[in-house]
Amino acid sequence: MFSKASAMQKAAAFKYIKFLVSKSSQLTWANKTGYVPVNTKVVNSAAYKNSGLKTPAIIADAMKKLYSVPVAKNSNAAYSQLNSIMQTILASAAKKQNVNSQITAGKAKFDAAWKQ
């Protein structure tokens, strides 16, 4: 939502978001598009599992391994840095090199991204 919206606009936006993530909307969206429902009640529902689509069986297994990035200031920037930091550390480790300097440098990059 936008901070400069009127109270009526904020209320309308909230109602629309609530509708979008509702069980019925998510079930319809998932069955028509193949996208993963964001509502776990839909993922676990018989209506979704028995929809005749291949997606629910694949998603049920994949969702056991999913995680989310917390919604906090600069969390996305820090998470984006983490991928390259870990690649550098793991590449050095695979070459049997000392990774202490990569860890120290990676921590500095991560902290800078988090605190920007």
Tell me the pTM.
Answer: 0.56
Element (H, E) at 85: helix 75-94
3 pLDDT higher than 90: no
1 pLDDT higher than 70: no
Integer Cα distance of 26 and 18 in angstroms: 11
Integer Cα distance of 109 and 66 in angstroms: 25
* pLDDT confidence band for 69 (50 / 70 / 90): confident
* pLDDT confidence band for 77 (50 / 70 / 90): confident
State whether the Cα torsion 29-35-39-43 is positive or negative: positive
2 pLDDT higher than 90: no
